Structure 1
Amino acid sequence: MRILGIESSCDDTAAAIVEDGVRLIAEAKLSSALIQQRYGGVVPEVAAREHAMAVLPVVETVLAEAGMQLADLDAVAVTQGPGLLGALLVGVTFAKALARALHRPAIGVHHLEAHLYANSIGHPVEFPGLALIVSGGHTSLVWWRGHGDLEVIGATRDDAAGEALDKGARLLGLPYPGGPEIERLALTAGPEPAFRLPVARVTGAPLDFSFSGLKTATEDLVRQHPDARAGVARALQEAVVEALMKNVKRAYALYPVPHLYVAGGVAANQRLSEALTSFGREVGATVHVPPVALCTDNAAMVAAAGYYRWQRGERLQPGEGPKTPWQLQEVARVES
């Protein structure tokens, strides 16, 4: 089963062909990040325009790299939401039109569920597991029992972890996207931490996250120590990792499963990966971290997630369009 995946939820236009939800045949991506740097973040109208210009060339590139024709595809999967409405509209419209022309099924995929399936590229996902989805717009803890069988057990009450890193990067004069820049700058700090930033705990909901206070505290620290950029970057990164790991440990105490998964753009952070791996060794759980290229938005994860939705008989209907907002809880259903 060869599925073409299309991703256009934010600033990356991506396409990939994945076989049976596991084997990556080919992938390609065009990013508008350099254009968005002029504005210090993603401008929805600019993103939608860039997607419209990039989606066909990206699909043509993937087919050429795979040595395949459109007729060789069995289905088309696309990120249906959540994301930027105009950006999603480009991808969904293209995918539905292509699928209709090929007389193939079109499959709508939830963006966060797709991030989980970045872990399936190369080898099938093993269940049950705990999953940490952490990106620029989302931070969630998921008890993942099987395909189509997951439960959101923790989520952010305000800002996401990646958003806190991006805000810190802007305060420090670093370019967009900010997460990788914070990590690079933090590596240049001294051996001993110069500062410590607060880690919030949500009263009455110990598995939920809150990063809005961290953003404010980072802004204050930058104002107080404008010449200590590396120290501030390190403090911010450590606070984010500490907040994530505290909740992962609390979740594991309630759900002592054999597998721990991490997904989303912040999963590419080496400090977080090291902390998760160390914890996994302590408790005897296998930690799964996607390759860096599959942590950020990509189409391979969309095609992989689409394969399992296809197996469940899910199809995009003619009248369906993008869905945003679209809570992960809405697709977290137990298989019958």
Structure 2
Amino acid sequence: LLAMNSLTRSLWKPLKRVQAAWRRASPARAAEQRPPRLVLGIETSCDDTGAAVVDESGAVRGEALHCQREVHLKTGGIIPPVAQQLHRENIEQVVKEALDVSGVSVSELAAIATTVKPGLALCLQVGLEYSLKLVNKYKKPFIPIHHMEAHALTIRLINQVEFPFLVLLLSGGHCILAVAQGVSDFLLLGQSIDIAPGDMLDKVARRLSLSKHPECQGMAGGKAIEHLARTGDRQRHTFRVPMQHYRNCDFSFSGLQNLVNKVIVEQEKEEGVQEGELLSCAKDIAAAAQHAVAAHIVKRTHRAMLFCIKHSIISPQNATLVVSGGVASNQYIRKGLQIVADANGFSFLCPPPRLCTDNGVMIAWNGIERLRAELGILNCTDGLRYEATAPLGIDISKRVEEASIKVPRLKMKI
């Protein structure tokens, strides 16, 4: 009996350890066995009404998008009350279509995620109000989404990108360099101090009256610039790259826009045409303006890379540059960024064009990221408000400027 008791005690401790390990593993095992959780994402921050259902494996079950571009092309720019009304007219149908395609009902969702900041206030209001009606009706958790965080993490839907990574967000409303350290953990390295590159290119396109150009029918301004620049001679005009003497990662495009406008006025006088008429050298101006924008973006990104490596924020062995946002679809700018990434040993990744512009998929995926990390999931939405302006992460741009990193000259043969 004594021998048997001794044997039982000797076996009991290992058995207890096995049981403890089993209990620790059971939540993960349960997660593997249960169906993947589903999130509905809703996006109305600017001029696109988007919705999508995405599961936690990254599968897009269904999506829908209503684009307002044609309306805003006629008015020469986005008019917030008009955009708001179009969101109101289309949001219910867009959400219904995304759910119908997915074959999922609202009751099957794990949560509803919606852009609440930053963006046009009147447009954000539509998305938030509609989402909260669904949340209250179906008693679902709500996940408020930061629009720029969603753009930054979209790449993780299609690539296994590990934190931390350098991210450049380029759009009609933003130009931001940041380090993504986690799902909701960002270091802001620099941003535009005035207008965004997409806004500048759109304004140059309007000043050149490219909507009247036979090759640019129905194209948005930035797309028209990119199209004409392909066959233009950028060396016929030279525009000074902005902020050459500032050793930081901030951007500025308003001064460059003024330089381009000045050349347009000079060319109009030289050719004897009125404002609103097409210049014969429009392609050359488009090419020169696009090149100056690309050179400015590439140089600031180059400094960000050097800063991150020097201060051990990003490891040289696992360095990645992610570029997203509407302007990231510009192939000329992409090629310039590919050059600087290659020169510094960074992998270069960019979502496909359809996921670079605003869409419901990126919002739903950000909801999945937050759901997994258990961050910002609300069961009570009392007092929740949309925010037209919102910073991205912790601002360390002063540290970047104080580092005063000189960027070596880089030949950009595109």
TM-score in terms of structure 2 length? 0.76
Match of 1:74 in 2: 110
The partner residue of 2:153 within 117, 141, 146 is 117
Opposite residue 231 of structure 1, the aligned amino acid is D
For 1:181, the equivalent position in structure 2 comes to 224
Q: CA deviation at 1:21?
A: 6.9
**Count of residues in Structure 1 that have an aligned counterpart in Structure 2:** 331
Equivalence for 2:70? 34
Select which of 256, 264, 279 maps to 1:214: 256
* Counterpart amino acid of residue 387 in structure 2: K
The amino acid that maps onto 1:201 is M
Contact residue 305 and residue 344 of structure 2 kept, 8 A:
no
Question: CA contact under 8 A between 2:188 and 2:395: conserved in structure 1?
Answer: no
Any unmatched runs of 5+ in structure 2? 1-36, 212-218, 268-278, 397-414
Structure having greater relative contact order (Cα 8 Å, sep ≥ 6): 1
Partner of 1:314: 376
Q: What whole-Å deviation, never above 9, does each CA across 1:165-201 have from its counterpart, x for those lacking one?
A: 11111111124631111101111214x6321212111
Q: CA deviation at 1:153?
A: 0.6
Q: Show the 5 A alignment for 1:147-226.
A: 147-175=183-211, 177-190=220-233, 193-201=235-243, 204=246, 206-225=248-267, 226=279
Give the structure 2 partner of residue 271 of structure 1.
Answer: 332
Partner of 1:255: helix, strand, or coil?
Answer: helix
Partner of 1:326: 390
Q: Displacement of 1:290 after TM fit?
A: 0.6
Among candidates 297, 302, 311, match of residue 244 of structure 1: 297
Aligned to 1:254: 307
Deviations 1:69-115 (A, max 9, x none): 22221111001011111111000011111122121111111111111
Q: Secondary structure at the match of 1:29?
A: strand
**Percent identity for Structure 1 against Structure 2:** 34
Change (3 A) 1:160 1:57: same
Partner Cα distance (1:99, 1:306) in 2: 14
Aligned CA distance change for structure 1 residues 178 and 21 (closer, same or farther; 3 Å): farther
Corresponding residue for residue 284 of structure 1: 345
* Contact kept? 1:160, 1:211, Cα under 8 Å: yes
Rate the CA distance shift 1:31–1:248 in 2: closer, same or farther, 3 A: same
Please give the alpha-carbon distance, in whole angstroms, between the structure 2 residues aligned to 1:243 and 1:197: 11
Letter in 1 for 2:176: S
Q: Point out the more displaced range, 229-238 or 63-72.
A: 63-72
* TM-score, reference length from structure 1: 0.93
Shift in CA distance, 21/43, structure 1 to aligned 2, threshold 3 Å: farther
User: What 5-or-longer segments of structure 1 have no aligned partner?
Assistant: none
More divergent stretch after superposition (316-325 vs 45-54): 316-325
- Structure (1 or 2) with the greater helix fraction: 2
The aligned runs of 1:89-108 (5 Å cut-off) are 89-108=125-144
8 Å contact kept, 1:24–1:122: no
1:141 CA displacement: 0.5
Query: Would you say the 8 A contact 1:22–1:123 is kept in 2?
Result: no
Q: Deviations over 1:246-273 (max 9, x none)?
A: 0111111111341101011100000111
Q: Which residue of 1 aligns with 2:170?
A: 134
Q: Aligned partners of 1:148 and 1:21: how far apart in 2?
A: 19
Q: Say if 1:177 and 1:21 are closer, same or farther in 2 by CA, change over 3 A.
A: farther
- What value does the CA root-mean-square deviation take over the aligned residues? 1.8
In the alignment, residue 183 of structure 1 is paired with which amino acid?
E
Q: Which moved more, 1:6-15 or 1:116-125?
A: 116-125
Is the Cα contact below 8 Å between 1:148 and 1:331 reproduced in 2? no
- Contact residue 132 and residue 261 of structure 1 kept, 8 A: yes
Q: Segments of 4+ in structure 1 off by > 6 A?
A: none
Q: Is the alpha carbon distance of 1:155 and 1:202 closer, same or farther for their aligned partners in structure 2, counting shifts above 3 Å?
A: farther
Contact 1:137 1:159 survives alignment (8 Å): yes
Secondary structure at the aligned position of 1:328 is classed as coil
User: Structure 2 vs 1, CA of residues 171 and 208 (structure 1 numbering), >3 Å: closer, same or farther?
Assistant: same
Q: Secondary structure at the match of 2:301?
A: helix
Distance 1:214 1:331, change over 3 A: closer
Q: 2:44 matched to 1:8?
A: yes
Query: Residue 186 of structure 2 contacts residue 394 of structure 2 at CA under 8 Å; is this kept in 1?
Result: no
Q: What is the DSSP-based 3-state SS (H/G/I as helix, E as strand, rest coil) of the residue aligned with 2:323?
A: strand
Deviates further, 14-23 or 132-141: 14-23
